[in-house]
Structure formats: structure tokens, C-alpha cells
A and B are shown apart, each in its own frame.
Chain A
């Protein structure tokens, strides 16, 4: 098996997604099947190859560090589920996880 329930549960936690037991079951089976399929990459010898993270020939893209107009704060927070004093409002951050 390429992946088991514990690993899926651990990974979902890293991705900050809560899964029901049912989801955990069916995702584990499906992900295992997908990972078994992608295993075919192991038949290739890639030791001497450079990775391609993007296809463009460009390297760094620079621009002048000039002051420009930006989105007003009111625009940036207008979609927030909860906002106060022009700030995003969230639950207490420093908290002890149960």
C-alpha cells in the first residue's frame, strides 16, 4: 500500500481539513489507487535530470521599487466574514488545543 489511513489523517491535518470517518475511508482507498498509478514514474532513471518547476526561460523579474496606488483597505476587507476597525477579525490565536 502506498498510503494508509493514519497518513491520510495526518496529511489532512497538515492541510487543515477536518475529515469525517467516512471521508477518511474513501479518500484512503482512492488516494492509494492514484499513488499506485503514479508509481510508474519509478521505472524512469531521473538521477541526472534537472527539475522543471516552470517552462519559461526568464529568471528573476525586477521592477523599480516605486510607490504606487494600491487597493484601499476598505476594498481589501470588504469580503471578510468578520472585520473590525479596518482589520480582519479572527478567533484568539494563542490558545491551547484541546
Chain B
């Protein structure tokens, strides 16, 4: 059996029965990686020997963690002690963190096996994984196309069966959009649900770590494993973590679901629009009550995001200056010269562009016109959701306006690239949870994602809708055949 194609919950059953050992899973994955990684480029750092070592070091006693023997890949912006963690950027070349992110401690505490790091857009700046210093990741459904971004490596590895499941991070859609265009499940938790300690910061008021998985049950399992309050992250919420697995199996009969008209815009792909319509009909058949609604400030979300996120990024990325870690330029004349040359050589185009844009939005004379205004419009976007959630239990939308575009198609036009996040950004600005699940294919056989957004800290309801939909459709069972 090809164990690498299975879900974590399938593997947990097989392990429990004693039919297989963790080393069998790891060997299947290693074989698959040796076959397909050259064409996928989904991984940033992978060391076979280390994986085998971790496998043999697994606890063999009766006390086994909930994820015992289950392999997991980690996005390259999450710190793993003494393992390369580079945000797919030259400026962090060779960086090995002296500590683990909280999510890593949680996963290894449950006896999961760390497999390695996945490729990403440099510092998570992008929607296509083309800005990585390791080269672009490719979409397993069509190698000429992007896997989405910035967690494109995680999504492509899961879709291409190089991974069982993986962690991503989502600042403006970086889990949901790649999951959508790769035909897998991706969940961005509520801001504060998962500790950000050890996640290399992009935009601190928007970033969240979350699961990318082959089905909804695995998303619930992984979310449960990484959630919870952490005193190392003062923005992590001190709230109980529900049992997502049992909660999601309840029927969705009577749930009220809003369908915002602003997410069915002119210029969006007709096949995407049609698939979402059919998915909504399915939800109605399953007993949900779907009604049109409005989130009137949606059209301002991209503008707000690219001011707020870049402003925060410009401040967060000030620490990459050649002093504490990573690259330092040679032949430098002074301290300032060292900063400037190191950052010139270490950052790619998109990182430079965003840092300059964010610095501009925060600079004296422009602060009120740009940054401050964006924060006020963010209030309007949040109020739109508050109002909608007075009436609805959840909101459904497309995850992206189109299926995966071609590599190179948008990379030279940043604004066009930014607009591909148009349906995912609002959830980060409002801090609410969202999940993307497969809901169909285009005639070119490219996956289409359905996004379900929920109330703050109500991941349970979006998982419940996603699970009910998934159990009554077969989209998640269809695998890419290209590789």
C-alpha cells in the first residue's frame, strides 16, 4: 500500500492495529520525494537521514502521544530548533533557530515525526511561491502552474502525496488560497487561537499558523493539536479548545449560511462561479439555509491589507540587518553601509518592494493619509462581519477568483498578483477563521476551492459545514495524475 497517499486519521488506525510501523510511512514518503520532488520543488529543507533517526527515536513504551508516528512537514517560516529555518530567503541563509516554535513543541510532544521544511514565498510575501530563493514550487495538477502562496510548498507537498499533512501560515490567505488551487484542505484559525511564538513574523496583527491536509478530519485533528493559550505569545487567547472532531460530525440542518454578493464579481472565472453555486445548492440539500447577504466594504480590503500588512512587515523585517543571524555583506565601510548592503543582497524584489511600501505608509507626512486611514477602514471591514454574523452562523465564498494561474503570468505585475488574494484577505483583517475545501474542477482539470468563514473562535462550525459537505461529495478523493 502507498501509505504516503493516506490521511493522518487513516494512518493512526493502521498504526493502532499494528498493521504498519512509523518507518513504513516514512519510507513511502522518502520514496515518493525521491521520485517527484525534482519536478515539484515543494520542499525547502529535507534530510532523509534525520527523518530516519527521528523515526527510530520515537517512544516505544505504552504511553503514546495522539500523533505518534505521524509524519508532518513544516513551512519554512516556523522555527525548529537546530534545523534550517530560512523563510525561503537568502538573508536567512544557514539560520538554525536556538529554540522551537510553540507549535513544534506541541507536535513533537504528541510524538509526530518532523519531516522537514516546505518551500514558500520569501517571508510569505506572495500568492504563488514564485518569490522563494529556492525557485518556484509547481502545482501537482499542472506543473506549468503555480501552487498558490505563500504556503505553496505545504499545499503542493500534501496534494502531491509527498506529505501526509503540513503546517502553513496565513496572513492574507496564504493557507487557504494554496489549499484551494491545489485541491486540498487549508484552515486559518481565528487570530489568537494558535500561538505565534516562533513563527517568523510578517504582519503580527494578521499572521496565524494553521493546517493544510488531505481532508477535513485531518484539519480538525491538526488544529486541535496546535491550538491553545501560550504565555510566550501575549496575543494568544486564553480560551478553551473544543473537541473539533466530535463537534464537526453533527448535522448542518438549520444552520444559517450567508452568501455575500461582493464575492461574485465581474471578471471572475465562470467555472469557479458555477462550482460555488453548485456547492451552495449541496449545502442547502444537506439542510443549511443559504441566503444572500452583503459585506459592503469588501472592495477596500486589498487596499487596507497592502498598507497594514506592509507597514507591519517593514517594522518586523528591520531585524534582518546582518548583525544577529543570516547573511552579512562583505566589503563594508560602516554600520549603515553594512545594513544597506546586507539588505540589498539578502532580500528579493518583492521583499524590498513591500518593505519600502510599508516604510512609506508609516513615514512622517504620509502616516495619516495611508496607514492611519487603512486602520480606520479595517474597522469598517470588521463591522461588516460583525453585522453579518448577527444573522448567519457562517459565510461561504469562493477561495479565489480563478483556478491556478501559469507560473510567470503575474510575477512582473505586483498589483495583479495582490488582487488574487481578494477573497481571502478580509478574514485576516477581521481576525475570523476560514477554511478552504475542494469543491470541483475546471474543464482543464484544475481544482476549485470553497471558502467557509466563521465567527471568531468558532472553528467548530466551519469544520462542521466543511465535513458535512465533504462526506457528501468526492472531490477530496480525486488525486492529481501528472506525477
Contact = CB atoms under 8 A, between A and B. Distances in A.
A19 B356 CA distance: 11
A34 B372 contact: no
B430 A55 contact: yes
A49 B231 CA distance: 32
Nearest to A54: B205
Interface residues of A, number: 54
A3 B365 CA distance: 13
A52 interface: yes
A82 B328 contact: yes
A76 B96 CA distance: 11
B379 A51 contact: yes
A91 B379 contact: no
Which interface residue of B299, B324, B356, B378 has the most chain A CB atoms within 10 A? B356
B306 to A, nearest CB: 7
B352 A27 contact: yes
Contacts of A13: 340
A16 B431 contact: no
B306 A38 contact: yes
Contacts of B328: 81-82
Nearest to B428: A55
B359 A14 contact: yes
Contact of B98 (A17, A78, A81, A95): A78
Contact of B357 (A34, A78, A88, A98): A34
B353 A54 contact: no
How many B residues touch the partner, as a band?
A: 35 or more
A17 B235 contact: no
A98 B429 CA distance: 43
A31 B353 contact: yes
Interface string B181-205: 0000000000110000000000001
A44 interface: yes
Contacts of B324: 77, 79-80, 88
A14 B414 CA distance: 22
Interface stretch (B12-20, B287-295, B329-337): B329-337
B363 interface: yes
Interface in B348-379: 349, 352-353, 355-357, 359-360, 363, 370, 372-379
Interface string A35-52: 101101110101001111
A41 B344 contact: no
A71 B98 contact: yes
A67 interface: no
A15 interface: yes
Interface string B301-336: 011101100000010001001111111100011111
Interface in B87-101: 94-96, 98-99
B336 A11 contact: no
B334 A17 contact: no
Contacts of B231: 63
Nearest to A60: B234
Contacts of B378: 51-52
A84 B359 CA distance: 33
A46 B376 contact: yes
A15 B359 contact: yes
A91 B306 contact: no
A44 to B, nearest CB: 6
A52 B385 CA distance: 14
A95 B378 CA distance: 43
Given A19-B352, A78-B98, A81-B322, A95 B379 contact: no
Contacts of A35: 370
B467 interface: no
A98 B191 contact: no
A81 B325 CA distance: 6
Nearest to B340: A18
A21 interface: no
Contacts of B344: 17-19
B54 interface: no
A49 B414 CA distance: 30
B389 interface: no
Nearest to B308: A53
Interface of A: 3, 7-8, 11-19, 23, 27, 30-31, 33-35, 37-38, 40-42, 44, 46, 49-56, 58, 61, 63, 71, 75-82, 88, 90-93, 95, 97-98
Interface of B: 94-96, 98-99, 191-192, 205, 231, 234-235, 237, 297, 299-300, 302-304, 306-307, 314, 318, 321-328, 332-341, 343-344, 347, 349, 352-353, 355-357, 359-360, 363, 370, 372-380, 382, 414-415, 418, 429-431, 456
6 contacts: A8-B356, A12-B352, A52-B378, A56-B235, A91-B337, A95-B334
Given A31-B353, A81-B323, A88-B324, 6 more contacts: A12-B356, A15-B343, A16-B336, A19-B344, A49-B376, A93-B335
